[in-house]
Structure 1
Amino acid sequence: MIYTVTFNPSLDYIIHVEKFRAGQINRTDEELIFPGGKGINVSIVLKHLGIESTAWGFVAGFTGKEIEKRLGDMGVRTDFIVSENGLSRINVKMHSDEETEINGRGPKILDADIRKLYEKLDGLKTGDVLILSGSIPSSMPETMYMDIMKHLQGRGINIVVDATRDLLVKVLPYHPFLIKPNNHELSEIFGTEITEKDDVLNYAGKMQEMGARNVLVSMAGEGAVLLTEDGQSFRAEAPKGKVENSVGAGDSMVAGFMYGYMQDHDYQKAFEYGVCTGSASAFSKELATKTEVEALLKNSRKCFE
């Protein structure tokens, strides 16, 4: 079974304003509302691909109830912890001359809420997949990802981590099954600019030396690379298409990779599904569907070396 964790879920209010002008009244010409958060995005895309998962995390207030309702309407299984403090956040994402985001804070997570999460973690079984992704609210320990991995060490659970900088580096000694930084995040971690695929593979190798088992690195319009625990390396050019919405593309890549891997544990297949699922979401106003992913796979064979 796959479980995703989103510590700070949201309602994403996505609007389009033809020409946004600060200090003036602006009117939208398109509006969409989705349940948001990196782990939630992974669960939604997995559902689209035909794989069941359970979305975990913390919700609060009427916005939290709406997040649960919308996910339920999509057929996504949830088992959230309801916090008594505050409201689940609303994130505003505006598309205009530039793409602008205003993200809410979310509820304060109490120690009692965290203990309930650990109770759920203790129910995981050997072979389960746990996907940890996104930022950690200020009310929670900064070491939360590391603490979870330490708690689950030695239990045969495949843990995927999609996080930035210190959050990612601190989990490496606990050997995550998969990490998915982008090349800019690698650059921040190692203090150097990394733009070429050869350099990305070199630094992905350093991440393996630090403990990661498999390293999948997205490079936006430049494609992606994968370095596997059995010594294989893969490269891909970015599939061709018009980018409609970059939100959720990285999460979709994680979902696509795990979908491909779970078919027959073939890393090349997992890589191809990951790249095409991420791109399919980028080319759509919503998260990728299986039809969109398979069409892109069929038409993008030349992208893979």
Structure 2
Amino acid sequence: MLHFVLTQPRYTRENLTIKETATNNQYRFGMPGAMVSGSEYKKCLKILEQQQESAYIVVSGSLPPGVPSGIFKKIAEISRAKNARLIVDTSGEALKEALKAGVYLIKPNLKELASLAGKQNLTADDAEAAAKEVMNKYKCEVIVTSLGAGGALLITSAMCMKVEVPAVKTESTVGAGDSMLAGIIYSLFNSRSLIEAARYGVACGTAATMNPGTELCHLKDVQKLYQIINAALTSTAGF
């Protein structure tokens, strides 16, 4: 995991989430992070280049102020040089720049996928066609589209599979997307198939929603949900 390290003491970035107990809705307030200088982000790239073995390189979250979106081109070059698979979980122009540079896997939600495909909005029924458009336009092998409580869609050039989840009591959605991506990467790193990775990732993301605040998933919940998903899921070519 690569973190930007600031050479001068600065305020830590803070994000706020407010839960309205009457409706169980959450409202998020994302604050800007500290400015990162050119020498600082270039140092991070140098550290990445010096890593001896990297099966996967993961870029997650928004770019800090001061870091150009063109950094993805350099990270993609480093990934290719190391024969590592680049996985990106970001949005907006940064995501487009990453796709231009070439990635293995992205994890957009429906809104982000719609933006990439040049559409106003998408439903789950439209997601496969939109994802194929994105794959043809950019350089990407796998798209996992988050559907929130509806699970996720795993889309490649050869298949589209929906991973559905059982209904759970949602306490907080903070970190659910990150947990899903972590589950996918963990599975791939342990030589599981894309289908198994998508199922496990959805189990991790769903398990994270079962806990309050910033508390993430518990292994026992992940394992139980993964078993349920495996028992109920059927794959289709052309969802």
Q: What's the TM-score, normalizing by structure 2?
A: 0.86
**Alignment of structure 1 residues 275-286 onto 2, 5 Å:** 275-285=202-212, 286=215
Counterpart contact for 2:56–2:84, Cα < 8 Å: yes
**Alignment of structure 1 residues 176-191 onto 2, 5 Å:** 176-189=103-116, 190-191=118-119
Partner of 2:139: 211
Counterpart contact for 1:125–1:157, Cα < 8 Å: no
Counterpart selection for 2:15 from 60, 79, 91:
91
Q: Per the alignment, in what secondary structure is the counterpart of residue 177 of structure 1?
A: strand
Q: Per the alignment, in what secondary structure is the counterpart of residue 63 of structure 2?
A: coil
Q: 1:237 Cα shift?
A: 2.0
Q: 1:258 Cα shift?
A: 1.3
Bigger relative contact order, structure 1 or 2 (CA pairs below 8 A, ≥6 apart): 1
Distance 1:212 1:130, change over 3 A: same
Counterpart selection for 2:3 from 49, 57, 69:
57
**Alignment of structure 1 residues 82-231 onto 2, 5 Å:** 82-97=6-21, 98-125=25-52, 127-189=54-116, 190-197=118-125, 199-209=126-136, 210-228=138-156, 231=158
1:30-58 Cα distance to aligned partner (Å, 9 max, x none): xxxxxxxxxxxxxxxxxxxxxxxxxx213
Establish whether residue 242 from structure 1 lines up as the match of residue 146 from structure 2. Answer: no
How far apart, CA to CA, are the structure 1 residues paired with 2:67 and 2:121?
31
How far apart, CA to CA, are the structure 2 residues paired with 1:289 and 1:143?
37
Counterpart contact for 1:136–1:144, Cα < 8 Å: no
Q: 1:261 Cα shift?
A: 1.8
Q: 1:242 Cα shift?
A: 1.3
How far apart, CA to CA, are the structure 1 residues paired with 2:192 and 2:104?
13
Q: Per the alignment, in what secondary structure is the counterpart of residue 258 of structure 1?
A: helix
Counterpart contact for 2:169–2:210, Cα < 8 Å: yes
Partner of 1:17: none
Establish whether residue 295 from structure 1 lines up as the match of residue 228 from structure 2. Answer: no
Q: 1:147 Cα shift?
A: 3.4
- Unaligned runs of at least 5 residues, structure 1: 4-55, 59-80
How far apart, CA to CA, are the structure 1 residues paired with 2:128 and 2:72?
25
Q: Per the alignment, in what secondary structure is the counterpart of residue 187 of structure 2?
A: helix
Partner of 1:257: 184
What letter corresponds to residue 299 of structure 1 in structure 2? I
How far apart, CA to CA, are the structure 1 residues paired with 2:197 and 2:175?
18
Q: 1:127 Cα shift?
A: 4.4
Partner of 1:25: none
Q: 1:151 Cα shift?
A: 4.5
Q: Per the alignment, in what secondary structure is the counterpart of residue 287 of structure 1?
A: coil
How far apart, CA to CA, are the structure 1 residues paired with 2:234 and 2:176?
18
Q: What's the TM-score, normalizing by structure 1?
A: 0.68
How far apart, CA to CA, are the structure 1 residues paired with 2:198 and 2:40?
36
Deviates more, 1:102-111 or 1:201-210: 102-111
1:272-303 Cα distance to aligned partner (Å, 9 max, x none): 10111111112222111221100111233314
Q: 1:304 Cα shift?
A: 4.4
What letter corresponds to residue 290 of structure 1 in structure 2? L
Q: 1:201 Cα shift?
A: 1.1
How far apart, CA to CA, are the structure 2 residues paired with 1:185 and 1:281?
22
Deviates more, 1:282-291 or 1:90-99: 90-99
Structure number with higher strand proportion: 1
